[in-house]
Amino acid sequence: MKTLCFLPLAALLALPAMVRAQNELSNFSATGRGGVANSFAEGYQAIGVNPANLGRNGQAKVSFTIGEVGIGVASRSLSKSFFERIIFERTESIAPADKAALQNGLADRDAFNLNVDATTLGLAISLPNGLGSIAVSNRQRISAHLALNRNAADVVVNGKSAASLQPYYPTTGAATLPPPLLSEFLDGTAIQMAWTSEYNIAYGLRVLDKLGFKLSAGIGYRYIQGIGIADIRAEGSDLTAYSSLAPVFSADYGALVNSPDFNYKNGAVLSPVGSGHGADLGLSAEIGKFLQVSASLTDLGTMTWTGNVVTATNQQLQPTSATGIETYDVLKEVLQQFDADQQNIFEYQAQQKRSASLPAKVRLGVGFRLSSLFEAGVDFTAPLNKVSGNLTAPFVGLGLDFKPTGWLRLSSGVSNGAGYGTGVPLGITLVTPIWEAGISSRDVTGYFSEKNPYYSLGLGFLRFKIGGQN
């Protein structure tokens, strides 16, 4: 049986072979500001950020998109040159010196982070008579996070010969120590992936309109279909380990298929294996002519995974028959090491269903609109839980928009956190009274950094606006 835990990670991390990028939002304008969005987002782009922004005056009467996407990958510990070997030289044999470098590089709390965020459809309509605005969208969200402690990195790279295994399962001689619990051996390790398809609806309304102070409130609802999840976390004395994967991941569950506790899903490749409901809540205030202050809670809710659910308990460390990594195709070889048909450090069990919280976040923003040509904003976003798909750390960013001409908008700023370090974004958007199209990078320095490679790209194919401001 193919691995139950590392398969989704490997499938997603293969994406950098096609695109070198990183983005938190499919909003390409936000990408150009380093993800700063709470005070800027309007129309359908307010979905998932702050639905209260839909209640502001000056919204376009109608705005919609035929495609916005952000895709990205980064590492805080692997070197750029090694990182690119994993992507472009996968079939080459790995040198012993590189195995040592790989082991050190993987032993980091942000060894690998991936985000894919695509809006396939977005539409917002401003209602007449001051009744606010309503927006709908479909969005695909994929995220992956890899953090290994020294023991986990040692086992992944060296297999049964790992020095960390020798006291418990030596390759020669007798064991000198009893095997520890997995939570102790893997403490500080996190292997997480989530892929969901969202159907969103949001509404915002101005609830207070006074001279010098205007307040809008908003609410959003989403129905979520789960394509896949893997969540393995060891922290202190606690271990979380489960996965639920759609047929697109081609997982072979072997004898577990016959278990009465296993709900086997093997239909269409993207057949959902889970579903859930989520909500966003927001407030947005306009103070005077230039200042905007926003606050929101997003991704409040729960997912229930019901297909192909497997779990591992906080059991004793098991021996492994894996021989370690032999080529630069690191992801494939990690897969093979955790094949459940061979002996490895986990033992898996089937389960009917598994419920988990959505990746809830609190978002705060302050915006300054000095003129129709220049706008600036500061964002702070913090995760409210550690579930798969959430930020690994708080995010803070400063974003700037500048229009040197009526048809061109430039974006930049600086951002830090969320597992990606400090970034200097850049965005270029072509603007007309009816449509916009643009390209952006959340960190232009990451393309050249040897120590912290960070590839980011946001694409807005076409965004249409009818009425309102440019």
SS3 183: helix
- Residue 67 tokens read as 């495609």
Q: What local confidence, expressed as pLDDT, does residue 9 receive?
A: 38
330-337 vs 150-158: helix crossing angle, rounded to 10: 90
C-alpha 12/C-alpha 114 separation (Å) is 8
Average pLDDT over residues 145-157: 90
Q: What local confidence, expressed as pLDDT, does residue 449 receive?
A: 67
pLDDT of 307 above 90: yes
pLDDT of 285 above 60: yes
DSSP result, 86-123: HHH-TTSBPPHHHHHHHHHHHSSTTSEEEEEEEEEEEE
* Tally of helices (H runs) and strands (E runs) in the chain: 7, 19
C-alpha 12/C-alpha 232 separation (Å) is 16
**pTM given for the model:** 0.84
Weakest-pLDDT range from 82-96, 154-168, 262-276, 293-307 = 82-96
pLDDT of 55 above 90: yes
Q: What local confidence, expressed as pLDDT, does residue 29 receive?
A: 65
Q: What local confidence, expressed as pLDDT, does residue 83 receive?
A: 76
pLDDT of 308 above 50: yes
pLDDT of 267 above 90: no
C-alpha 29/C-alpha 142 separation (Å) is 19
SS3 288: coil
Residue 332 binned pLDDT confidence (cut-offs 50, 70, 90): low
Nearest Cα neighbor of 230 from 13, 29, 30 is: 13
Let me know the angle formed at the C-alpha of 198 by 196 and 203, rounded to the nearest 5 degrees: 150
DSSP result, 29-63: HHHHTTT--TTT--GGGGTTT-GGGGGSTT--SEE
